[in-house]
Structure 1
Amino acid sequence: MHAPLPHTARRFAPTALMLGNFVTGCSVIGPAGMLAELSSGLDVSIRDAGLLITYGAAVLCFGSPVMAWLTSRIERRTLLISTLAVFAITNAASAFAPNYLSLLGLRLLMLAVGALYTPQAAGTAGLIVPLEKRGSTIAYIFLGWSLAAAVGLPLITFIASRYGFRAAYGGIAAVSCLSFLLLAWRLPGGLLGEPVDLKTWGLVGRNRMILLLLLITTLQMSGQFVVFTFMGPLLAKLTGAGPDAVGLVFALYGVFGFVGIAIATRIVDSWGPYKTSLLFTSLLFSGVSGWAFSAGHYPLMAASVAIWGLGFASTNSMQQVRLVIAAPALASASVSLNTSVLYVGQAVGSAIGGVLYAHDQLHAAGFVAMAFVALALTTVLCTRRIPAAKAST
């Protein structure tokens, strides 16, 4: 593995990586902010529009480990900027998609390639910063996902509700181009990670800590996406909220997600990743529980989403930090698998949410989400007793 390059060569490189995650986040969760517009513009049901997220997540869950294996020997700068170029091209093409099937095909192509960005960006952090800053830097890079929810998703909702979903896709494409240029400018070349081979996957499969952490990610994301995928339509049906009121809730979710990950970034090096993860998973559970019990009351649901937001991105970033620290030599594989099971959770949650929504089980969705997150919190508690020495073998 190459040693970190001089400080002047790394200036703003983490920020460039973080903005790439912003593009990734907008591309992955964007349909959730414009389900109604996709439904009416493509003449499909809300549930079918939601399947853009479900099918996309299925591609991502398989694509992340496969792409990590196929691309592990490619220089990181080349790999990451190529991924952003694909995001730019496919989002631009989506703005002109003539029908639902063509849009779905473009999305699956985009995410098959895009599956590698988040884990490779996290792994690249270990090549450009000192060991003692690795945890906070990974958390900072994951801040891009918080920004995608805090800024990107409300903007997508705003633009789509006024100008249609095609304008929203065009906006994502424009931001993808800007992110591509920034990353090409600031990320140094010559960065190579540890190659991923079959032996690596075997070591990952025998590491108890890694397996438990992957289970936590799956449960957390499954629970959230039972509700999150259909959050806009659920708010509209349960409270009569219009597009602006829905956009406000998305903004609360993202802004508080930004606050949560900013706090996590500041405290993780002193608190340690386990305590930080426990704190924010507890907040996640509190917020999802609040949504379940307050369904039908817009102010209480919005407040619950704010609490939920504190935990959504920070828990994911802590998962990545814990995986890197648990077994540094396996980080490229374990972080890609974490991204994979994250999308497994999205696929499972959005599929369950779609069934519940189609059968008008609007209140039940919150309680199903709550059960998943409760299991995740219980599993976090189980990881406390695994000695560090065993976690790194």
Structure 2
Amino acid sequence: MRRILLLALGSFALGLDAYVMAGLLPVVAGDLQVSASAAGQMVTVFTLCYALAAPVFATVLAGRPARVILSLALAVFTLANALSALSTSLTMLLIARAIAGIGAGIYSPLAAATAAALAPAERRGRGLAIVMGGMSIGTVVGVPVGVLLAHHISWRGTLWLVTALGLIALLGAATSLPGLAASPPPALKERIGVLANRRVAPIALVSFLGGIASLGLYTYLASFLSDSAGLSDPTGYLWAWGIGGVVGSLCVGPLVDRTKKAYGIATVLFALLVVSEAVLPGVATTHWGLILPLVVWGASGWALQVPQQHELIAAEPEHSSVAISLNSSAVYLGSATGSALGGLALASGVAPSGLPYCTALIAVVGLVLHVTLVRWGRKRPVPVRQAAPVTDVEAKACA
């Protein structure tokens, strides 16, 4: 269990690092004397490299012990965060954030797989939950704490905290983990075959749009609160979003298991995402009126991917690990795309207070595709290919 907790600590640092810069956006922009739209690309490059690193480097590093790969990933992640804290220009900061994203993208899926291998068979689900829970807690709880810390010591201090957490996780991984062999990555042909499945592609596309609408907007939440509500300290409102995310993440799994209606639950969650984002500008001036839509937005955005994963497993039961990894990449690519599009919108003259309308519209497009393309795809027969069946543990480890 101690080894799994060390893996979870690394995941916590990753989750904190992935989105804490969103809460620090106005502070970083002011310190580096750049626009909020330019500073927002910190999140774009991190999440883009995060999404692309796993499939690329999994092939390059195949065959090496998991301890070596995890230690290397944490070393890259930690050094990149130290470089981020020392950055004196936006260019230097963007390069550092891209490198940190590569380290995070290599670490995350392998940490989950290693936790599954370390845990006894009867406790593998718990081991996976601990590691993956570390990342979600780092995002939805650690981010407000990081923002609060930054208001007392500076945004660089928050990044030094992430650096310290990464260093502790690195030392633990290098000295405590056994020499387990990393599983070979799926062949490129297998990945392409899954993506070409007419049932899988629409689900992945919907997840991509969900990532744009939810995580993409979160990048500019601090800027939205400052522009629409005159709030200089977004900490309490980040807590509201984060608490919603925790509740949504914890509740949706049992709900899907009990009802067996993953598609219907995803439909409701998408609708809630649309409504919660669309009402944000209208209630911003009341301050307290922001709490409920932020909670609903956080809950629906984080919960949405669970029924999406269930749908993917049903669509590709013989290649579920590959399908779910594609879904994960789609979500983070959506986050990167949302951050980039938000920056372009701000640079073109759109006020931060208007961004929720834009993302709500994207969520509407996702909802329409969900009730049309995905619904039609569900009526198609499940394709049968010659491949070894994938266990539930392997599927969860690649989520």
Cα separation, partners in 2 of 1:140 and 1:85, compared to 1, 3 Å? same
| CA apart distance, 1:121 | 4.1
Question: Counterpart of 1:362?
Answer: 352
- Residue number among 309, 322, 328 corresponding to 1:339 in the alignment: 328
Which stretch shifts more, 305-314 or 339-348? 339-348
**1: CA distance, partners of 2:282 / 2:367:** 19
| CA apart distance, 1:111 | 1.3
Alignment length, in residue pairs? 381
Counterpart check, 1:249 vs 2:240: no
Please tell me the residue identity of whatever aligns with 1:247.
Answer: T
Cα separation, partners in 2 of 1:335 and 1:348, compared to 1, 3 Å? same
Question: Counterpart of 2:249?
Answer: 261
- Deviations 1:246-272, CA, capped at 9 Å, x for gaps: 111111111221111111243343334
Question: Is the 2:273–2:360 contact (alpha carbons within 8 Å) kept by the matching residues of 1?
Answer: no
**2: CA distance, partners of 1:187 / 1:36:** 40
Question: Counterpart of 2:391?
Answer: none
**2: CA distance, partners of 1:334 / 1:171:** 35
Question: Is the 2:59–2:184 contact (alpha carbons within 8 Å) kept by the matching residues of 1?
Answer: no
Please tell me the residue identity of whatever aligns with 2:328.
Answer: T
Question: Counterpart of 1:46?
Answer: 36
Question: Is the 2:240–2:295 contact (alpha carbons within 8 Å) kept by the matching residues of 1?
Answer: yes
**2: CA distance, partners of 1:127 / 1:277:** 31
Q: CA RMSD in A?
A: 3.2
**1: CA distance, partners of 2:128 / 2:383:** 19
Counterpart check, 1:383 vs 2:374: yes
Counterpart check, 1:307 vs 2:306: no
| CA apart distance, 1:80 | 2.9
Question: Counterpart of 2:259?
Answer: 271
Question: Counterpart of 2:278?
Answer: 289
Cα separation, partners in 2 of 1:240 and 1:292, compared to 1, 3 Å? closer
| CA apart distance, 1:214 | 1.3
Question: Is the 2:112–2:128 contact (alpha carbons within 8 Å) kept by the matching residues of 1?
Answer: yes
The alignment partner of 2:199 has SS state of helix
Which stretch shifts more, 185-194 or 107-116? 185-194
- Residue number among 298, 305, 310 corresponding to 1:316 in the alignment: 305
Cα separation, partners in 2 of 1:119 and 1:376, compared to 1, 3 Å? farther
Question: Counterpart of 2:61?
Answer: 71
Cα separation, partners in 2 of 1:202 and 1:389, compared to 1, 3 Å? same
- Deviations 1:131-175, CA, capped at 9 Å, x for gaps: 998888766644334312332111221122221111010011112
Please tell me the residue identity of whatever aligns with 1:338.
Answer: N
Question: Counterpart of 2:396?
Answer: none
Question: Is the 1:65–1:333 contact (alpha carbons within 8 Å) kept by the matching residues of 2?
Answer: no
**2: CA distance, partners of 1:388 / 1:74:** 40
Structure 1 stretches lacking a partner, 5+ long: 1-10
The alignment partner of 1:116 has SS state of helix
Question: Counterpart of 1:3?
Answer: none
Counterpart check, 1:201 vs 2:191: yes
Question: Counterpart of 1:117?
Answer: 107
When the two structures are superposed, what TM-score results if normalisation uses the length of structure 1?
0.83
Question: Is the 1:208–1:391 contact (alpha carbons within 8 Å) kept by the matching residues of 2?
Answer: no
Aligned residues with identical type, % of pairs: 26
Question: Is the 2:110–2:182 contact (alpha carbons within 8 Å) kept by the matching residues of 1?
Answer: no
- Residue number among 76, 84, 97 corresponding to 2:87 in the alignment: 97
- Deviations 1:176-196, CA, capped at 9 Å, x for gaps: 233345556776642543432
- Deviations 1:70-121, CA, capped at 9 Å, x for gaps: 3344443432343223222221232222322222211112212322333444
Structure 2 stretches lacking a partner, 5+ long: 386-399
Which stretch shifts more, 293-302 or 319-328? 319-328
